[in-house]
Structure 1
């Protein structure tokens, strides 16, 4: 793979540590499918094109490797981890287990944590106050992380944060489609209302359905975007 093809030379911002800048730049390329699943590249390619030393590049790539986006190839540099939908489905299934357990813990409390009210202030809003910008994917992630953290189990929250990061590359695509954005607001509002009424089983059913629908939608969107990216490369 030619690193030049992917525009590593674009100017880096200057407000963050260099390794963080390199990390964010490569991650954007992964998320935008400028770096395609299966693509191979070397630390020297990235360092030369970004006009930085190999040290921040190595730090960034090892961080991305821990997050499951790239993997080191013995004596042949790095490779973008091939898409494995079976793996992502396992992570989504784990999300369901963790979040449903969190909801059960929450509904067994005599009084809900303040976090639930804070989440409602974001998601239970009139249609004309709903966000429709690219950062909504992070707000959605914060909603689900907030529910698990509010349940009070720190280890469960740690595992859930790790899972959430690993699926970010496809999960964010759910917020590129306006109908999915509107559905997310509606479904989050329903889940929060069930929590407020301490209807645990109903809240768990809503949450499981919400995650399953999202899983199916991001699979379709991901396949479409991968195909579009491959066609651009052939042009």
Structure 2
């Protein structure tokens, strides 16, 4: 079990540790959590725990003192919003993405193809983040970050890097962006995310 270090604010460390416990399943979906139990585990007072739980509630990972239990309906609604936001992000990226950011996209695709599962997940995230940053809207980016957090929780048991045609779809999005085709970039991103959703739902149903 990790412990709190003195070099960083205790609430920040507590937040990161508890968030990691949710993602790795140490704190299971639906599990009731208390300030007292977490403070004892991390060997800190309840004050940093209280602040970290407040942040986790804002992230959508904790609700009414329980770890969120994602449902298919929740995921479908999140992806509907994600298609709107990332579709717009891809549209904007086709006209606004800097050359160095454009160069990062094929690098992400290649490393996701050849790396480990962890590499694939990381570089897929970087690919989407890089495109989304082009929207230049801090409110949209905040909403995107919250949705991504919930999607990562839902994907905990989904072997997502094995989804068919994932990187091929990324390549098509990349080419639309570098060619400055905003409408095509938006359409391809929305189609890509719809395929993501259908894959996640299908795998989740098999795991029930």
Runs of 5+ consecutive residues of structure 1 not aligned to the other structure: 1-9, 73-77, 228-235
What are structure 2's unaligned runs of at least 5 residues?
Answer: none
In the superposition, relative to structure 1, how do residues 124 and 189 fare at CA in structure 2: closer, same or farther (>3 Å)?
farther
Residues 89 and 131, structure 2, Cα contact 8 Å, conserved in 1: yes
Question: Aligned-pair distance for 1:56?
Answer: 1.8
Determine if contact 1:100/1:208 at 8 Å carries over to the other structure: yes
State the 1:196 CA deviation.
Answer: 1.7
Query: Are residues 27 and 152 of structure 1, via their aligned partners in 2, closer, same or farther at CA, if it must alter by over 3 Å?
Result: closer
Contact 1:19-1:60 within 8 A present in 2 as well? yes
Q: What is residue 120 of structure 1 aligned with on the other side? A: 106
Q: How many residues align?
A: 206
Identify if the C-alpha distance between structure 1 residues 45 and 208 changes in structure 2 by more than 3 Å, giving closer, same or farther.
same
**Corresponding residue of 1:185:** 167
Deviation string for 1:110-134 (max 9, x for gaps)?
x75222222223225695xx22242
User: 1:104 Cα deviation (Å)?
Assistant: 2.3
How far apart, CA to CA, are the structure 2 residues paired with 1:190 and 1:216?
19
- For 1:200, which of 164, 171, 182 is the aligned residue? 182
1:134 and 2:118 matched? yes
State TM-score, norm by structure 2: 0.81
Q: Structure 1 CA distance, aligned partners of 2:55 and 2:133?
A: 24
* Aligned residue number for residue 53 of structure 1: 45
Q: CA RMSD in A?
A: 2.8
Distance 1:117 1:60 in 2: 37
In the TM superposition, residue 90 of structure 1 has moved relative to its aligned partner by 1.3
The answer for the alignment partner of 1:31 in structure 2 is 23
1:102 aligns with 2:89: yes
Residue equivalent to 1:209: 191
Structure 1 residue 172: Cα displacement? 5.8
Partners of 1:163 and 1:123 lie apart in 2 by 22
Q: Distance in 1 between matches of 2:151 and 2:59?
A: 9
More helix per residue: 1 or 2?
Answer: 2
Deviation of the 1:178 alpha carbon: 4.6
Give the superposition deviation at 1:21. 2.9
Match of 2:12 among 10, 17, 20: 20
CA distance 1:173–1:18, shift in 2 (3 Å): same
Rg comparison, structure with higher value:
1
* Contact 1:99-1:148 at 8 Å conserved across structures: yes
1:163 is aligned to 147
Q: Relative to structure 1, is the Cα distance of residues 155 and 205 closer, same or farther in structure 2, using a 3 angstrom cutoff?
A: same
Q: Which has the higher contact order (CA 8 A, sep 6+)?
A: 2
